[in-house]
A and B are shown apart, each in its own frame.
Chain A
């Protein structure tokens, strides 16, 4: 029984994680079909299936599911996207010497380095190529998320893929947020997006200041909090409707956000009280925080 890792084994875990992420995010549509046929057939035999003579190759998982009845995303083998658990076992195999025990998944590991999603049944092996392009943005903690301000964040060779901003997938009805250049996005349309995350991404793309400028907002009130934080109350005329928004600047990160507040609000303090309590009618009135956390 292995009860602890050596310092060398411990140190190598980060390499395995890094390599696994590289495999999982790798692009490159081309693979050696003979090699992949050999690997998939070896896996088929492992599962008690007869080998096949050729592969059914598709440019994307969507193309495969659209073309062959019965294929569904949930029953695929994910190839490169199965690397999380395959790399876990690879560590046991390579670093803890468990060669025999992990032998059954060797073929899947080799396939993960070459292809995307796969399906196998008694008669056929369906293999999809990896995506051609993938765009990522850095996030806190050294992690990356899908992000492309102008086009698809994942694109397969056949053009299929998905749009994403800061890790948030953009549904079909909202891809205009991505495909419209920032200076042509309609701020009024953006403010009409009910999904908070999507609206936030659209506002970020336009830029907060430009957004308010283009809506010809009128500043009703400003407030500087002594322990940090600047606030502005903006009035915006959207058609016949007058909307009030509180613009807030985060004292630590400098990021700006805008939130809608009720139209009866007249000051930043009232708006902050409303955010905190859901009403402006509290006995003490607005009490600024004693410290910023």
Chain B
């Protein structure tokens, strides 16, 4: 039982996306995607979210250098998975 980003996309977001693609013309979808999702991504995701990711990655690597007990795979046992990518319909490409 888990609820990682991948599961949320698989179980929640992608079904919503599929339904919407049947109801809205693809050119209209694209237009809204560029003007809302794209512009917010540019401002929030590209600036803040990516910055936080970079910072966490840097500090995590720093910790791995300091602590030989940690290391690749040390957090295995987690049932959480890697980021499946972002954005609506990310698995539809």
Contacts and interface: CB of A to CB of B under 8 A. Distances in A.
Contacts of B91: none
Given A47-B12, A102-B16, A164-B51, A20 B77 contact: no
Nearest to B43: A21
B63 to A, nearest CB: 8
B3 to A, nearest CB: 4
A89 B88 contact: yes
Given A20-B36, A65-B60, A69-B78, A121 B16 contact: no
- What DSSP secondary structure best describes chain B's contact surface? helix
Contact of B36 (A13, A101, A105, A146): A13
A101 to B, nearest CB: 5
Interface string A86-98: 0111011000101
Contact of B4 (A14, A61, A75, A171): A75
A46 B5 CA distance: 14
A70 interface: yes
A105 B40 contact: no
A85 B25 contact: no
Nearest to B77: A70
Contacts of A3: 25, 28
- Which of the four size classes fits the interface of chain B? 35 or more
Tell me which of A25, A78, A96, A119 has the highest count of chain B C-beta atoms within 10 A of its own C-beta: A78
B54 to A, nearest CB: 5
B24 A121 contact: no
A171 B61 CA distance: 12
A289 interface: no
B16 A162 contact: no
Given A3-B25, A73-B57, A146-B48, A105 B16 contact: yes
B48 A5 contact: no
A70 B28 CA distance: 40
Interface string A16-42: 110011001100000000000000000
A65 B56 contact: yes
A260 interface: no
A248 interface: no
B28 A145 contact: no
A2 B5 contact: no
B20 A47 contact: no
B84 to A, nearest CB: 9
Contact of A104 (B7, B16, B55, B57): B16
B51 A146 contact: yes
B12 A104 contact: yes
Given A85-B87, A144-B47, A145-B47, A20 B7 contact: no
B41 A84 contact: yes
A172 to B, nearest CB: 6
Contact of B3 (A44, A62, A98, A104): A44
A77 B8 contact: yes
Contacts of A199: none
B2 A83 contact: no
B66 interface: no
Given A24-B44, A92-B20, A98-B20, 16 more contacts: A24-B45, A69-B77, A69-B78, A70-B80, A71-B78, A77-B8, A81-B49, A84-B38, A85-B87, A87-B36, A88-B88, A104-B13, A121-B3, A143-B42, A169-B55, A172-B59
